[in-house]
Amino acid sequence: MERIEIFQKCNFAYRKTCAISYKIIKKEIQMSKSLNELVVKYLKENGMTSAFFCRYIGENKTTVSLWLHGKGNIGKEILPKIHEFLSGKHLRTLEDIIKEMEGE
Q: What string of pLDDT tens digits covers the 104 residues of the chain?
A: 555 565 555 555 545 555 555 565 556 555 556 888 899 989 999 899 999 999 999 999 999 999 999 898 888 899 999 999 998 888 888 888 888 888 86
Q: What is the DSSP secondary-structure string of 37-101?
A: HHHHHHHHHTT--HHHHHHHHT--HHHHHHHHTTSS---GGGHHHHHHHHTTTT---HHHHHHHH
Cα–Cα distance list, 27 to 23, 32, 57, 74 (Å): 6, 8, 23, 14
pTM flag (> 0.85): no
pLDDT the model gives residue 69: 92
pLDDT the model gives residue 5: 60
